[in-house]
Amino acid sequence: MVMTTPADTAGATDLRVLTSNSSFPVLDALAPAFERATGRRYSVQVATARGMLARIKDGETADVAVLAASDIDELVALGVIAPGSRRLFARSRVGVAVRAGANKPDISSVEAFRRTLLSAKSIAHTVNGASGRYVPVLLERLGIAEQMKPRTVTREGGYIGGVVAAGEAEIAIQQIVELLAVPGIDVVGLLPDEIQKVFETAAGIFRTSAQPAAADALLRFLLAPASSGVFRERGLESAM
């Protein structure tokens, strides 16, 4: 899947960013402000976390990458991302959503969340997304993995909230930033702290970038304190 900012009709000097689903909303939202502030534009291509990492390792390149911190570290080690350009981008947490207008279940404690899952007709999560890979681990921790297997709907990647909005599952579990991006669902809240998973994303500049100074200016703009409100609105915690 490829999504682009409104800048995707721009010329060859536009910056190009490769990212995963969890970072796309904030990158998309900040594109107009970056253009107003600098006169420059950037386009964003997005895929699942695993899919985008594979594309980059297969040779796809751009100016900037925003991915899981561990993925950026791997790309630095491989010589794909310039080591001095690596910086923490954001933190995100996992939450729960239901179809818009549906009763919001109790997820206020670990036991309440466990009861909610066991009473649900179905739950949904991705397979290749960072939070999607955490859900099976979570179900094992709760001791209900076997009970939930026949009631679990999965997709390879993307925004799993769409499955709930379409009525194909009752509960979506994914990073809050990805749930907030989906119309037709209501976010119930975050997982309890005891079973919460915090994901860190990082950003870096490709060694092959033809405009590393402009790419660095983009990262400084994205991570400036003035951008932190946009991060919060999209369900992310800015690294700044």
* pTM of the shown model: 0.85
**Across the chain, what does the average pLDDT equal?**
93
The answer to the question of residue 233 being in a domain is yes
- Mind listing the pLDDT tens digit for each residue in 80-131? 999 999 999 999 999 999 999 999 999 999 999 999 999 999 999 999 888 9
Q: Are residues 76 and 114 in the same domain?
A: no
Q: Are residues 106 and 158 in the same domain?
A: yes
- Tell me which residue of 96, 160, 152 sits closest to 122, measured CA to CA: 152
The answer to the question of residue 1 being in a domain is no
pLDDT value for 128: 85
The answer to the question of residue 11 being in a domain is yes
Point out the residues of the chain with pLDDT beneath 70.
1-12, 240
Q: Are residues 49 and 97 in the same domain?
A: no
| CATH number of the domain residue 158 falls in | 3.40.190.10
3-class DSSP state of 184: coil
Measured CA to CA in angstroms, residue 194 lies from 110, 187, 225 at distances of: 7, 19, 30
Instruction: Tell me which residue range forms the domain holding 213.
Output: 6-91+201-238
Are 199 and 174 a contacting pair, CB within 8 Å? no
What does the H/E/C string look like for 58-99? Answer: CCCCCCEEEEEHHHHHHHHHCCCECHHHCEEEEEEEEEEEEE
Q: Are residues 176 and 226 in the same domain?
A: no
Distance between CA atoms of residues 115 and 113, nearest Å:
5
Measured CA to CA in angstroms, residue 223 lies from 69, 90, 213, 230, 237 at distances of: 15, 9, 15, 11, 11
Q: Are residues 87 and 98 in the same domain?
A: no
Domains identified in the chain, total number: 2
Backbone angles phi, psi at 128, to 5 degrees: -100, -10
DSSP state of 235: T
The answer to the question of residue 131 being in a domain is yes
Q: Are residues 31 and 107 in the same domain?
A: no
